[in-house]
């Protein structure tokens, strides 16, 4: 059986996900081999995309090179229907519209005022719940942290599994309240399965929180 090989060299996670979706839509019946997939964050996002597309996949390692083998679906004569395909990613311009440069005359809520030290660190949420036990209890505990967040925290970022909070109405309402009171909520660009539509939250370049993490100036959950 033919296998469609998709090679991902020097692409961002968002670009890789779009290439994979295009390949799955164009050749739904063919098995797919994706390589190289050495970045754990890339593998994580690809796995989430394939689950969303209803495609089973296995991660394999050959020496230092990782690849992902994706089973075909809707094969002629198999009786299997073609899986539903989610809406295509929003145009890139919609994503960029969220992160327009700030007005130089307006202070950035994520930066300290001139001459004043930033005494409280921003918070980056990378999980959908706390701990390894019950997800329901872990989610309630995580929302409790956000509910008790000090108003002096300049901003809250969502990355990796933290973006699942956007799909929880209770968590979304809490994040909107934080934003309304002046605590900015920012979304990791690289953690998105697809570019988000313009909304109340800013799309954040990951280098922003990565620089803070590199010098210990951000709290990460």
CA dihedral 176, 178, 180, 185 (to 10 degrees): -70
Beta bridge partners of 35: 7
As a whole number of angstroms, the distance between CA 19 and CA 202 comes to 25
Domain limits, the chain: 4-70, 92-220
Summary mean pLDDT of the chain? 75
Using alpha carbons, list the distances in angstroms from residue 22 to 88, 145, 187, 202, 204.
9, 39, 24, 27, 25
- pLDDT tens for each residue of 148-157: 888 888 899 9
Q: 125-153 b/e with 16+ CB inside 10 Å = b?
A: bbbbbbeeeeeeebbeebbeebeebeeeb
Strand, coil or helix: what is 113? coil
Q: Which CATH architecture has domain 4-70?
A: 2-Layer Sandwich (3.30)
User: CB neighbours of 210 closer than 8 A, spacing ≥ 6?
Assistant: none
Query: What does the pLDDT read at residue 209?
Result: 87
Residue with tokens 């164009």: 26
- pLDDT tens for each residue of 97-146: 333 444 444 444 444 444 444 468 899 998 888 877 778 888 888 888 99
Q: What is the DSSP letter of 86?
A: P
Query: What does the pLDDT read at residue 113?
Result: 45
Residues with pLDDT less than 50, the chain: 75-118
């Amino acid at each position: 059986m033919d296998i469609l090989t998709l090679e991902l060299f020097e692409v961002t996670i968002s670009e890789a996900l779009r290439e994979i979706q295009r390949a799955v839509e164009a050749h739904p019946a063919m098995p797919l081999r994706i390589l190289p997939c050495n970045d754990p964050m890339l593998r994580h996002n690809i796995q989430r995309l394939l689950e969303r597309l209803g495609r089973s996949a296995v991660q394999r390692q050959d020496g230092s090179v990782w690849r992902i083998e994706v089973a075909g679906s809707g094969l002629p004569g198999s009786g299997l229907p073609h899986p539903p395909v989610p809406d295509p990613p929003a145009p890139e311009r919609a994503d960029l519209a969220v992160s327009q440069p700030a007005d130089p005359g307006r202070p950035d809520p994520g930066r300290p005022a001139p001459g004043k030290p930033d005494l409280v660190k921003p918070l980056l949420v990378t999980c959908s719940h706390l701990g390894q036990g019950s997800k329901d209890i872990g989610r309630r505990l995580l929302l409790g942290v956000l509910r008790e967040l000090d108003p002096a925290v300049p901003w809250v970022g969502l990355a990796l599994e933290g973006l699942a909070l956007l799909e929880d109405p209770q968590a979304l309402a809490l994040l909107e309240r934080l934003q309304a009171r002046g605590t900015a909520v920012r979304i990791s660009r690289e953690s998105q399965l697809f570019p988000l539509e313009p909304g109340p939250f800013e799309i954040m370049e990951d280098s922003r929180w990565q620089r803070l993490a590199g010098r210990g100036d951000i709290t990460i959950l």
